[in-house]
Amino acid sequence: MSDTDTFLDELEALLGKPGLLRDSDAMARYVSDWAGESLGAPLAVARPASVEDVAEVVRRCNVRGIAMTPQGGHSGLVAGALPARDGQELVISLERLDRVRDIDPINFTMTVDAGCILENVKRAAWEHDCDFPLSLGAQGSCQIGGNIATNAGGLNVLRHGMMRELVLGLEVVLPDGRLWQNLTALHKDNRGYALQQLFMGSEGTLGIVTGAVLKLSPRPTQSRSALLGMPSVQAVVDLYSLARRDCCDLLTAFELIPRRCIELAMEATPSLIDPMDQPYPWYVLMEVAATGPIDLSALLEQLLEAGLERELVLDGALAASDAQAAQLWQFRESMLEGQRRRGEHLRTDLSVPISKIPAFVSEASDAIKALDAECEIIAYGHVGDGNLHFNLLPPPTMANEKKKAYLHALETRLFEVLDGFDGSISAEHGIGRTKREAYLERLAPTERELLEGIKTLFDPKGLMNPGRILPPR
């Protein structure tokens, strides 16, 4: 029996049979992501059911020099949670750590296991008239630990911020198996370095998050949504600036959607009906929400009138009920599925200053079209965060084996344009493996030195999620 077999037998004895998967059929679910990207062949999949078991698994891996891949809901889109192809990485799935530990509705905090699915966390908060305001398309599968590790944002960042602003305390198993516990529920705490912030966005490279204290908001008692037909991206940004000022700071979402996405949504969900009498080149999907006695419909109507008067808005549909609002938001969700069905394409999550979105969309579109007029550009995103998904779809006739090189050339050109706007190549999904080279090319030497120093301090053997963000050791 090999050393590895002995190691796995010992892990199985620790975790029980459901706690360690070794059979390739049973492991299949853990090697691919939402986009169908599949990397691997893990050594095995460990599914510890307690914090102590996570710590013991990590401790043993550290002693034996075994690489580890922390995994949440594998909805990440940069191959960070997928094990490598070499069969050397042990996937450590947090899915069995899914307990809501405590809710304090007066302190507006909630303590949860890292494996809790985001949607379940939101539901648990609602039961106490509170809200955990992180909202994203993958919320039915992504986990709080994954959200923390990727510093996730989503639809409501413009009002509530990203995970860095929504987490107060953390519990982390460090790469050598030690448990670092700082489950503080303090809203203000200025004692020295904020270590927990280091783990937010670290993509599982510094340790495995096992628990967190989340910051809650009051649950909105009312919300209103509207879909607006717009003539240009410039008009969208101008309307955003107006809405930020005129909506009493109650704006929770402001999404840019191109016509093509409305069509893709209707293709993916045939029950959706074209929302307006005629098509418009761009749309805004927005939401306002409040807890107190305020007339949100009047607020939206006034905004729509001001937008029409200034010729920023061409047409508008205000949802008259929650059911109608849900249908408008169904377009936002279904358009993602519509794109996914188009097969391999370049998915980006970049950001620029909000005021520069129109110039960026125009310049980047020209640059891509100059490379290939047949390439389909789909640019949508969270306007209030300056965050665009500037996605590029190869012509449908292109042979599959040509797509990788084609998309890489387009990405290189797109990022060159982005550099001219001092933008970020990752506003949401992180670096993982897929953006590592582009990220490293743009790192100043001092910054790289500091980052590598942090990694070495936490993980001197380089065993925790190797090759994500920084090169493997």
Ligand X SMILES: Cc1cc2nc3c(=O)[nH]c(=O)nc-3n(C[C@H](O)[C@H](O)[C@H](O)COP(=O)(O)OP(=O)(O)OC[C@H]3O[C@@H](n4cnc5c(N)ncnc54)[C@H](O)[C@@H]3O)c2cc1C
CA distance 359 to 82: 36
**Nearer Cβ to ligand X, position 317 or 383?**
383
CA distance 473 to 458: 14
Residues interacting with ligand X, by CB under 6 A? 34, 69-77, 80-81, 94, 114, 136-138, 142-143, 145-147, 149-150, 152-154, 203-204, 208-209, 336, 428-429, 432, 465, 468
| Cβ contact 375:366 at 8 Å | no
Write down the least CB distance from residue 312 to ligand X, Å: 25
| CA proximity to 469, closest of 457, 443, 446 | 443
Write down the least CB distance from residue 28 to ligand X, Å: 16
The structure tokens 């914090």 sit at 51
Residues in the chain: 473
Q: Is the dihedral of CA 134, 140, 142, 145 positive or negative?
A: positive
| CA proximity to 56, closest of 24, 100, 113, 16 | 16
CA distance 466 to 460: 11
Write down the least CB distance from residue 288 to ligand X, Å: 19
CA distance 395 to 380: 19
Write down the least CB distance from residue 167 to ligand X, Å: 12
Write down the least CB distance from residue 416 to ligand X, Å: 24
Residue number with the smallest Cβ distance to ligand X: 146
Write down the least CB distance from residue 54 to ligand X, Å: 9
CA distance 58 to 90: 10
CA distance 342 to 369: 19
Write down the least CB distance from residue 302 to ligand X, Å: 29
**Nearer Cβ to ligand X, position 125 or 152?**
152
| Cβ contact 101:129 at 8 Å | no
**Nearer Cβ to ligand X, position 166 or 239?**
166
**Nearer Cβ to ligand X, position 152 or 388?**
152
